C-alpha cells in the first residue's frame, strides 16, 4: 500500500517537473497572440536546432560565438524566425559582452516582458510579430537611449543594405 502511494507520488512528481519544465520557457508565448503563429513542429522544421533553442525555448548562445559580432556593414538585422526587421546597423555598438548589442530597436519591432527565470529579474525581448525570444534589454547602454539590447546572434539574420546605384 505504502509502496504504491510512494510510486504514485513520485510519478506525479515527475509529471509535475516535466510540466514545469515545459511551462517555464514561455514568457514570450504567454504574452498573448502573435501575428505569426506556428506549431512547434513547424518551428522545428523552419529553424536550426540552435535557433529553435533560442527563439522558441528562451535559450542563450555562448558568448563570443556569433558571427554577427564582426558584422560592421550597413544593413538591417531581422528576426531569424519571421524575417521582421528588428535593428538597424546604425544602432549596433561594441558592448564587450560577447553578444551582438544595440541601443535601440526599430519602430514597432520588439516586445518586452519581465523575466524572472534563473533567479534574476530581467527584461526579456522578443519579436513582436512571431514572439521569438531574442535576448534581454539592460539599462547600462550608451547614449542616446542608455539601453543595451543584448541579443542572441542566432536569433537574427543580417541583410546588408543594397548599395546605392552609382
| Active-site residue set | 150
Under the binding rule (CB under 5 A), the answer on residue 132 touching Zn ion is: yes
Give the nearest distance from C-beta 158 to Zn ion in angstroms: 15
User: What does the alpha-carbon distance between residue 81 and residue 134 come to, in Å, rounded to a whole number?
Assistant: 10
Under the binding rule (CB under 5 A), the answer on residue 105 touching Zn ion is: no
Kindly identify the residues of this chain, within the stretch 83-102, that bind Zn ion according to CB under 5 A: 84
As a dihedral over the C-alpha atoms of residue 82, residue 24, residue 68, residue 77, rounded to 10 degrees, the angle is 30
The rounded Cα 138 to chain-centroid distance in angstroms is 14
Under the binding rule (CB under 5 A), the answer on residue 150 touching Zn ion is: no
Under the binding rule (CB under 5 A), the answer on residue 80 touching Zn ion is: no
Residue 37: Cβ within 10 Å count? 11
Give the nearest distance from C-beta 132 to Zn ion in angstroms: 5
Choice between 129 and 148, CB closer to Zn ion: 129
Under the binding rule (CB under 5 A), the answer on residue 81 touching Zn ion is: yes
Q: What residue has cell string 539590447?
A: 149
Amino acid at each position: 500500500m505504502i509502496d504504491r502511494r510512494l510510486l504514485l507520488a513520485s510519478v506525479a512528481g515527475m509529471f509535475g517537473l516535466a510540466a514545469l519544465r515545459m511551462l517555464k520557457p514561455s514568457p514570450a508565448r504567454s504574452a498573448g497572440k502573435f501575428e505569426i503563429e506556428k506549431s512547434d513542429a513547424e518551428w522545428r522544421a523552419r529553424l536550426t536546432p540552435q535557433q529553435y533553442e533560442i527563439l522558441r525555448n528562451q535559450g542563450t548562445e555562448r558568448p563570443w560565438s556569433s558571427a554577427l559580432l564582426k558584422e560592421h556593414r550597413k544593413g538591417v538585422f531581422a528576426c531569424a524566425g519571421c524575417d521582421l526587421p528588428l535593428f538597424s546597423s546604425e544602432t549596433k555598438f561594441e558592448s564587450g559582452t560577447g553578444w551582438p548589442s544595440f541601443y535601440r530597436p526599430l519602430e514597432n519591432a520588439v516586445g518586452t516582458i519581465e523575466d524572472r527565470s534563473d533567479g534574476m529579474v530581467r527584461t526579456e525581448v522578443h519579436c513582436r510579430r512571431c514572439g521569438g525570444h531574442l535576448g534581454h534589454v539592460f539599462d547600462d547602454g550608451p547614449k542616446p537611449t542608455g539601453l543595451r539590447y543584448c541579443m542572441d546572434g542566432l536569433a537574427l539574420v543580417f541583410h546588408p543594405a543594397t548599395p546605392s546605384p552609382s
